[in-house]
Amino acid sequence: MSDVLNKVVDIVCGQLSVDKADVNPNLHL
Protein backbone atom coordinates (compact mmCIF):
# COMPACT_ATOMS: atom_id res chain seq x y z
CA MET A 1 0.00 0.00 0.00
CA SER A 2 1.15 3.55 -0.69
CA ASP A 3 1.51 6.12 2.08
CA VAL A 4 -1.31 8.18 0.60
CA LEU A 5 -3.68 5.21 0.56
CA ASN A 6 -2.74 4.40 4.14
CA LYS A 7 -3.55 7.99 5.14
CA VAL A 8 -6.95 7.80 3.46
CA VAL A 9 -7.77 4.49 5.13
CA ASP A 10 -6.63 5.85 8.50
CA ILE A 11 -8.80 8.96 8.13
CA VAL A 12 -11.86 6.97 7.01
CA CYS A 13 -11.47 4.43 9.82
CA GLY A 14 -11.02 7.28 12.28
CA GLN A 15 -14.20 8.97 11.11
CA LEU A 16 -16.14 5.69 11.28
CA SER A 17 -14.94 4.95 14.80
CA VAL A 18 -15.86 8.50 15.86
CA ASP A 19 -19.30 8.28 14.24
CA LYS A 20 -20.10 4.86 15.72
CA ALA A 21 -18.19 5.12 19.00
CA ASP A 22 -21.40 5.73 20.96
CA VAL A 23 -23.15 2.84 19.21
CA ASN A 24 -20.39 0.24 19.31
CA PRO A 25 -17.06 1.07 21.03
CA ASN A 26 -15.71 -2.30 19.82
CA LEU A 27 -15.30 -0.83 16.32
CA HIS A 28 -12.21 1.11 17.45
CA LEU A 29 -9.08 -0.31 15.82
CA–CA distance, 17 with 4 (Å, rounded to integer): 20
pLDDT at 21: 55
CA–CA distance, 20 with 6 (Å, rounded to integer): 21
pLDDT in tens, the chain (29 residues): 699 998 998 888 777 666 655 666 665 55
CA–CA distance, 5 with 19 (Å, rounded to integer): 21
pLDDT at 12: 81
pTM of the model: 0.42
CA–CA distance, 29 with 10 (Å, rounded to integer): 10
Question: Dihedral of the CA atoms 9, 10, 13, 18 (nearest 10)?
Answer: -150
